[in-house]
Each structure stands twice: as C-alpha cells, then as structure tokens.
C-alpha cells in the first residue's frame, strides 16, 4: 500500500493516464446501452478493481474480452484545466459534422470544465482517407502521420484563446504533463502517511450536574401513564369439556357461508375521517438582537391648509379674458391639444402590449399541432358491437358524460324478414363516462330502435327520443344522477359499511341499471315513419295550438319539436293537461307502470298527442316533402331580443295578481291558447331538409284558407334542390343565428335565412359521400364534415374555401355522427361515431379551437360580401335574360319589317355630298386642333 501512494515515475505515467481515461470512458459508455467498450478501458478498469477486490477478478476478466476497437468512441477526460504555458500545440477548427463523428460536440461532449478528448490516430487517418480534403484534420496531416503515440489529445478552446475552437497537442511529453500534473507538497505520499500515523488520545466526557428549568414537567405531560389500576379478567372453561374426543376433517371454505370472509382494504370516500384536533407542543424562543432608534428631528415650521379655492373678481376675469396674452397663449396651445387628441384616437396609450404579446396565432394551417388526437374510445361487446350508432348527445352539465343510441344495421326488407329476432333484441341508449370506457353507466330501454334523442337543456335528467316506428319516448334518470356524477371505474363499486358485512351483499350492485321509459306517445297520433330529428324548444317561449309563439312563464323546456318522413313536423307538450282523470282511470295508469318506473310523465303514457301538426306540401306540385332535419331560429339561452317584452309581461302578470300555477315533476300544466299574447321578436318560420336533397322554408303559424275557409298551415314559401342526396345536416351557426350549414350527398352549402336567391357558398362534389357535419362551438369560420370512408374534414373559411384545411382518417368504416363539445377553455373534444358501434373521442388542437382576433367580424364581412356577390350575380343574370329577349325581339322585328325602297340617282348623289362635307369639316377641325392651320376669322357682315 505504501508503494501505491508514491508518485509514479516517468514510465508509469502513461499507464496512469490510461487508467484515468478508462474510468471516464467507461462511465460514458455505460450511459449509452449497446455501445462497445474500448479494450484498453476495460483492461485498465480490471487492474484497478483487482487491487481493491480480488474476488471480482474473474468477472472483470470476462468483461475484458476484446471487441472492435474502431467502434469505440473517443474518451472524454476529466482533468484540471490546461496550463497557460503550452507551446507544443496546433490550433484546428472542427465543424459540427466532424464534432459528431468524433463525439466532441461543443458544450455537450466537451465543455470548459471537461475540455479534453483523446482521439485515436487510426480514426483520424481513416477520416482523412475517407473525406480527403473535406476533412478538418487535413491541415494537421503531417503532424498526425509523424506523431509517435497511438492517441492524440484534443483540447476544446471555448474562449478561442488560440484563434480556433480546438487545438491538438503535438508531443507526448506535453500530453502527459497536462493529463498528469505534478502534485503539490503534502498531497499523497509520505505526507498522507504521516497524517494517518498520528494518534489522538481519547478523553472521556465528564458528567455535570443537571439544572432543572421546568422541562421535566412538559415531558411528563406528554408521556402516557396509568391513571387507574388495571382490570383483571378470569376466563374459565367447564370441566366436562376437558379431555373430550376430537375428530378433525378437511372442509372447503365454500361449504359454510361464514367459513371465509375476505376483508380487502379500500378507500371509502363517503366515510373518510378527518383529523379535527391534535395536541401539539410549541415553544417559542425569543431571539436577542441589538438595535437602536432615533427620532428624525426636523425644523418646526408653521403650516396652513387651504380648503376653498381663491377666485378672481369679475373685473379681473373680464380683464384676463380680453387680454392679448391669454389669446396668444391659447392660440399657441391649440396645436398641442389637437395633436394629443389625435394620438388618443389613433393609439390606446393605456393598452398593455406585454399582456397581449403572442396571444394568438396569426398563421393558418400550422403543422406543429394541427391534427386531431385520439383521446378515448367506447364500445360494448354486448350492446353496441356490430351495430350502427344513429344518434349521440353530450350531457349539458356533467363533463365527460355522453349518450349514444344503437340500432341494428338492417334495411326495411331485412327488418320485415327478421321481425321476430328484432322484437326480442332490446333497443337501448348507452350512457358512457370517461372514467370507465368498457362498461356503460346507464342503459335506457326503448320500445323500438331510437333514431334521434336529446337531453333537456333545463333539466338534463329528462331525455326525449324518437323511435323508428314514429313514437316519442321520455325517460327520467333523476334517481341515477349520483351514479353519473360519481361514476364507478373498472367494475368496482363503492360500498358502505353495511354492504360490506357478510350476508348483506347486493347481488345487483355491479350490474348496469336498465331504465325503462316513463311515457310513450299514442300510436294513432304519432308519426307514421321513423322520427329523424327531435329538439327541445327553448325555455323562453312556447308554441300554442295556433302556431303562435307565446311567453313561457314556467321558465323550463317543456315542448318538443319532431319531424319524420311522413311530411309532418309536430310540437309536443310534456306538461299535464288541465283535465283531471277520475280515480278509476288513475288506478289503471298506475297499474300499467311497472315497479321502479318513475311516474313523472304517467299522465302522458299511451295518450300523448301533439299540440300542433304542421304539414309540408310542395307549393307547385301535388307531392309532399319528406323532412329529415328541422331548424328553428331560436336558441336555448339566447333571449336578449325578447327580454324587454318578457319583463313587461312579468310586470303585467304581477300587477294583475296572477298566481303561479302548480307544477308536477318539474313541469307545470299547459295553458290555454286564449289570453296569450304572442312574442313579437320570436319567429315561427323554420327550415327543413328532405330525403331528396331539397331545403324548404315554411311557417308554423296557422292561417285561414281563402278557398275552403278552414284553418291550415301555409305552404312553404321557398324551396330549392341544393344537393344530390339526403340532407342529413341542417344546423345553425353558434355565432350567427341566420347562417345555416346544409350538408347532403357529395356537397355542402351555407345558407342565409330569408335570402331566397341561393346559397352563399357551395362546394364542389367530393370523391366520397358526406355523412355528418357540425359547426365548431368556439371558432365562427370552422366546421367539421365526416365522410363514408371514415375521414373527418376540417374546413376553415378564413384559410381556404375551395378545399378542407385538414383531412384525417379516424376509422375504417363509415362515420354516422360527429359532435364537438367544449369541456373547458383549454380543452375541446370531438365525438365521432361509426357504423360498427364504436364511439371515438378526439381532442381538437389549439389552432382549431382558439379563434383569431376579430374572427367573428371577418366571417360576418365574408358572408356579407358573398351575399352582395349573389345579388349582383342574380341582377346580371336577369339583365342578360332581358338583353337576350330584346335582341331576339329586334331580330324578329327586322325579319318581319318590309324591305326598304330603292333610291334614285339624285338621292344617292345628295347623300354622298353630305358625307363629303362632313368629312371636310372634321378635317378642318383636326388641323386647327393640331396647330397646322389657323382658324379663319369670320368676315364682318356688309352694311
């Protein structure tokens, strides 16, 4: 051990340098798995470890097997900084490519703290052969070829002391002196050995007397002691049971009910205990500080406060106002005031530019984060697999809750052939939660397949749906609201202490609840075809039986608007009628409801009739429209245009002493159409889309027929065949109530209400058929369109109007529905359902959900320009038609006109003479205007 502490001689210095390089290179190679180690590094490490741990010699020898030396990366050396008096060096510049090849990247592989890098001579020569003149080591070619050693020392010149970013050491002596600097006196060797031989004499501690300051009382208070004597229990056993025969047999734990009870730990949030009070001992120790204070003395002086302004007298005011100095001052100050006022009008001096810095992205089509990301997917192997999703809707209040309706993928003929099978298959609506993507939270049972449904905006516990047989269905899920609010995850149910007891387990606790419908409309008064669209009428108005919009004093959504292919649009009221049932009929209805079904709408079950039925005949033919979708102008929560009239009606109702009628189940009784004042700001006109690609504009208001004198609905005032297939999407923009997105067939179009000239924007035919579409809830100019091949197209009207901004494939089958939903200000999700029963949840990127500055104004201006262009196009079309009619009429007149009479010789000569005189006059005027000829003065008349 003494020999190891001595300073090595000149022959041992290269070995020491190699050992140090080995430790550094080995640490680096271990951080990169799969990189082969240098043979020299491994041999040096094995020798160093053999001196300390002889038992690991065999393992180190196996580790030291030779490998390809050319593949070993150059070693990075950790040593003291190079001395300042180096003379044997050659500055060299290494480009980034050369730094990557030799693993000597600046500030990564080498730095100011570790500037050394050992490069093998063979690697440098190989690089010069491979890259020739391009190699950065070409200026040092002769130095490398004549270098006696196997490795050259490369040093990183981080502050460009020698003019380049690196420099090579040209001699072995200088390299050894840099890597192995001489140790100062007292470091290692005999100095350390002398320090280790010193013996310190041990002095045992001397105990001192303990002085009490009262801390033993505090320790006694915190310690637990016995406050009463211990109680003694004596347990005895009857004497007759001693020595009794015993027969032990094997028994299964399942044979006895209480033979085995498993008590698995779980976190019960309903009965979590909170620590309310805890004894703590805190002792404050004051810190002594020396400080001084001195009053800042000021010279005393008298002070006067003036609280009333001093004014000039009337004579002084008049004198100043008429003085020339004041006028000159005002005239000189006016330009400065005007300049300040102009600056205030042009620039907001109080605007904080720092807060608005990079608040939005002004570029369109950014590729950094411009794709839809998969967030979640839902499918059920029993209820939704291999079925088509016909409709879906997000829960209005609960985040992460969405409902889908599944139906069999059968045509009408297949349904007829498999009627017995379809009757035995339950028709369900699945309510999913993001916490459990495998098991639905609730199942809503329906009498037949559901083609459309919607949550009640004012009371989301009420759900209305439309069946394939034309009936309207209502559900009440208020009993399971807590299950949706605090959903279970992974099939584990939160149990309380009572359910955890043996013998009190609920066998149906883990089963998915199946909720039966509360009410269904009567078959005779329902639609005759499948209901394709259903909507809740906004809560600020209701429609009476005359088709007039009246004020809804209850303030909740209680009416439903439906449409079907039987050329009818119906309005349904969910409130109880004024006519009460006799006790016998009430008992019959109660008996008709199964146990557990809510009785919220028992007054409507099997007797529900529509309040209003609007037929849609074609105005110019004897046919009828087959509506698929319906769109009204009013929107839930948007009642600013009728707020004043509603407030006036409420004041009149309070002044007249009208009492609020009683409600039942959250819905009041329907009022009579008498004494109901219509709302002036609410329109009853609506758009419908049909199966034949048409869009019609109709009115709900009932009018008196002039021929028959009966009250009937007027025919649609306008319709147009815009698409080549069924129009499955008819949706109004979230930002403009009069802008409607219409998608059907292979094209889409954007309409403006009451503009009967045509669509503002029409797309060209797509390669694949469109199946669904929806506006973006946050960006006015963005909407999503789905295709039958499983793609989602994102259209941005501010970026492109002739092609989609983004096209992304979501699924391998056809997409049936698409529905975006704003979860928070920082997250927007897009729900996409396919024809195989899978619901995909995608996350919308930032540039597709965050509106740019003044985007709503820009889109509104774009629609106005398109409307003006459309008006100009129609005017020019009418003008061209009129011009063509005039030309045809002129040609017909000339054709029918008698031939002109032949002129004689005198008439021909007179005509030619007049033409010649006109030519001479024109020539004379032209010469005078050019200055070639002067204008002749007219002679004076003779007397």
Phi, psi (degrees; rounded to nearest 5) at 650: -70, -40
pLDDT tens digit sequence for 852-882? 888 999 999 999 999 999 999 999 999 999 9
Task: Tell me the mean pLDDT in the region 153-169.
Answer: 85
pLDDT at 279: 78
pLDDT at 410: 86
The band of 569, judged by pLDDT with boundaries at 50, 70 and 90, is very high
Q: Write the DSSP assignment of 584-614 as a string of letters.
A: HHHHHHHHHSPTT---TTTTTTTTB--SEEE
Higher confidence at residue 77 or residue 719?
719
In the block, residue with structure tokens 């054709």:
895
pLDDT at 488: 65
Nearest to 703 by CA among 730, 686, 684: 684
Q: Of the spans 74-78, 305-309, 471-475, 896-900, which averages the highest pLDDT?
A: 471-475
Q: What percent of the chain has pLDDT over 90?
A: 36
**pLDDT score of 446 more than 90:** yes
pLDDT at 497: 40
pLDDT tens digit sequence for 296-315? 777 778 888 888 888 899 99
Tell me how far CA of residue 602 lies from CA of 428, 554, 562, 595, 725, in angstroms: 21, 20, 21, 13, 41
**pLDDT score of 902 more than 80:** no
Task: Tell me the mean pLDDT in the region 116-140.
Answer: 86
Lowest mean pLDDT among 268-277, 709-718, 884-893: 268-277
Three-state DSSP class for 895? helix
pLDDT at 561: 95
**pLDDT score of 188 more than 50:** no
Q: What percent of the chain has pLDDT over 70?
A: 79
**Structure-derived torsion over alpha carbons of residues 523, 529, 530, 536, reported in degrees to the nearest 10:** -70
Nearest to 555 by CA among 674, 461, 666, 395: 666
pLDDT at 185: 46
The band of 711, judged by pLDDT with boundaries at 50, 70 and 90, is confident
The band of 19, judged by pLDDT with boundaries at 50, 70 and 90, is very low
**pLDDT score of 362 more than 80:** no
Structure tokens at 338: 């005007």
Decide if 114 contacts 200 (C-beta within 8 A): no
pLDDT at 938: 62
pLDDT at 861: 94
pLDDT at 731: 94
Q: Write the DSSP assignment of 194-212 as a string of letters.
A: HHHH--PPP-PPPP-----
**pLDDT score of 505 more than 60:** no
Higher confidence at residue 864 or residue 195?
864
Q: Is the dihedral of CA 573, 574, 580, 586 positive or negative?
A: positive
H-assigned helices in 433-517 = 481-485
CB atoms under 10 Å from CB of 132, counted, come to 9
Task: Tell me the mean pLDDT in the region 647-655.
Answer: 74
pLDDT at 199: 64
Task: Tell me the mean pLDDT in the region 582-600.
Answer: 61
Higher confidence at residue 9 or residue 548?
548
Q: Write the DSSP assignment of 538-570 as a string of letters.
A: PTTEEE-TTS-EEE-TT-S--EEEEEETTTEEE
Task: Tell me the mean pLDDT in the region 487-508.
Answer: 50
Q: What mean pLDDT is reported for the chain? A: 80
């Amino acid at each position: 051990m003494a020999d190891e502490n001595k300073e090595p001689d000149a022959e041992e210095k290269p070995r020491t340098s190699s050992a140090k390089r080995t430790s550094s290179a080995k640490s680096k190679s271990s951080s990169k798995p799969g990189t082969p180690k240098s043979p020299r590094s491994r041999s040096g490490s094995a020798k160093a470890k053999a001196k300390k741990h002889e038992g690991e010699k065999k393992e180190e020898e196996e580790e030291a097997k030779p490998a390809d030396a050319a593949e070993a990366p150059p070693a990075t050396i950790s040593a003291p900084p190079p001395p300042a008096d180096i003379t044997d060096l050659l500055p060299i510049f290494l480009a980034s490519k050369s730094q990557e090849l030799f693993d000597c990247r600046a500030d990564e592989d080498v730095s100011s703290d570790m500037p050394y890098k050992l490069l093998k001579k063979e690697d440098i020569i190989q690089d010069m052969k491979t890259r020739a003149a391009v190699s950065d080591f070409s200026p040092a070619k002769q130095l490398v070829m004549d270098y006696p050693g196997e490795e050259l020392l490369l040093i990183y010149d981080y502050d460009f002391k020698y003019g380049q970013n690196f420099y090579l050491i040209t001699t072995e002596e200088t390299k050894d002196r840099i890597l192995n600097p001489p140790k100062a006196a007292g470091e290692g060797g005999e100095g350390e050995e002398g320090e280790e031989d010193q013996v310190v004499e041990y002095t045992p501690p001397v105990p001192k007397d303990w002085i009490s300051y009262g801390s033993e009382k505090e320790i006694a208070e915190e310690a637990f002691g016995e406050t009463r004597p211990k109680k003694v229990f004596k347990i005895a056993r009857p004497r007759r049971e001693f020595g009794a025969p015993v027969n032990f047999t094997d028994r299964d734990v399942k044979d006895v009910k209480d033979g085995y009870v498993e008590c698995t730990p779980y976190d019960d949030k309903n009965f979590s205990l909170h620590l309310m009070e805890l004894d703590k001992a805190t002792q404050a120790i004051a810190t002594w500080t020396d400080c001084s204070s001195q009053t800042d003395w000021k010279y005393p002086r008298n002070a006067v406060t003036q609280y009333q302004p001093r004014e000039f007298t009337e004579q002084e005011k008049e004198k100043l106002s008429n003085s020339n100095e004041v006028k000159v001052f005002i005239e000189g100050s006016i330009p400065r005031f005007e300049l300040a006022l102009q600056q205030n009008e042009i620039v907001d001096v109080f605007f904080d530019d720092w807060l608005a810095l990079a608040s939005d992205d002004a570029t369109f089509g950014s590729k950094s984060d411009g794709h839809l990301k998969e967030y979640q997917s839902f499918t059920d192997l029993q209820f939704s697999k291999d079925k088509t999703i016909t409709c879906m809707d997000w829960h209005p209040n609960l985040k992460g809750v969405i409902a889908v309706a599944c139906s069999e993928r059968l045509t009408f003929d297949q349904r007829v052939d498999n009627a017995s099978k379809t009757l035995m298959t339950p028709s369900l609506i699945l309510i999913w939660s993001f916490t459990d993507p495998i098991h639905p939270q609730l199942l809503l049972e329906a009498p037949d397949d559901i083609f459309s449904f919607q949550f009640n905006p004012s009371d989301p516990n009420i759900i209305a749906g439309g069946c394939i047989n034309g009936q309207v269905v209502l559900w009440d899920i208020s009993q399971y609201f807590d299950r949706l609010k605090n959903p279970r995850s992974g099939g584990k149910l939160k149990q309380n202490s009572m359910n955890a007891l043996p013998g009190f387990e609920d066998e149906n606790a883990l089963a998915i609840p199946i909720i039966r419908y509360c009410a269904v409309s009567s078959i005779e008064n329902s639609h005759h075809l499948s209901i394709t669209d259903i909507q809740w009428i906004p809560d600020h108005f209701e429609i009476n039986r005359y088709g007039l919009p009246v004020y809804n004093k209850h303030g909740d959504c209680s009416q439903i608007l439906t449409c079907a292919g039987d050329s009818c649009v119906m309005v349904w009221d969910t409130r109880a009628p004024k006519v009460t049932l006799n006790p016998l009929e009430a008992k019959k209805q109660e008996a008709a409801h199964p146990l557990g079904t809510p009785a919220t709408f028992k007054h409507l079950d099997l007797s529900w009739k529509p309040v209003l039925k609007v037929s849609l005949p074609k105005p110019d033919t004897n046919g009828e429209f087959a509506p698929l979708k319906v769109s009204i102008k009013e929107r839930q929560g948007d009642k600013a245009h009728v707020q004043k009239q509603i407030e006036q009606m409420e004041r009149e109702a309070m002044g007249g002493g009208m009492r609020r009628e009683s409600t039942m189940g959250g819905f009041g009784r329907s009022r009579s159409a008498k004494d109901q004042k219509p709302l002036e700001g609410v329109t009853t006109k609506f758009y419908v889309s049909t199966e034949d690609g048409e869009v019609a504009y109709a009115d709900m208001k009932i009018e008196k027929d002039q021929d028959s004198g009966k009250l009937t609905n007027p025919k649609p005032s306008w319709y147009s065949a815009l698409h080549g297939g069924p129009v499955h999407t008819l949706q109004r923009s979230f930002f403009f109530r009069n802008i409607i997105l219409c998608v059907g067939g292979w094209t889409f179009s954007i309409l403006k209400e009451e503009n009967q000239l045509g669509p503002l924007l029409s797309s060209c035919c797509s390669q694949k058929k469109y199946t669904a579409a929806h506006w973006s809830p946050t960006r006015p100019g963005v909407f999503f369109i789905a295709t039958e091949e499983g793609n989602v197209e994102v259209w941005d009207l501010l970026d492109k109007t002739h092609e989609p901004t983004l096209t992304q494939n979501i699924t391998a089958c056809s997409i049936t529905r698409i529905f975006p939903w704003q979860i928070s200000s920082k997250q927007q999700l897009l729900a996409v359902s396919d024809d195989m029963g899978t619901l995909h949840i995608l996350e919308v990127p930032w540039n597709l959900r965050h509106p740019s500055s003044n985007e709503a104004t820009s889109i509104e201006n774009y629609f106005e320009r398109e409307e003006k262009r459309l008006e100009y196009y129609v005017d020019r079309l009418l003008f061209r038609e009129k011009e063509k009619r005039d030309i045809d009429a002129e040609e017909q007149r000339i054709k029918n006109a008698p031939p002109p009479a032949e002129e004689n010789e005198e008439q021909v000569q007179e005509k030619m003479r007049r033409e010649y005189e006109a030519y001479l006059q024109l020539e004379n005027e032209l010469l005078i205007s050019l200055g070639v000829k002067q204008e002749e003065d007219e002679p004076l008349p003779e007397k």
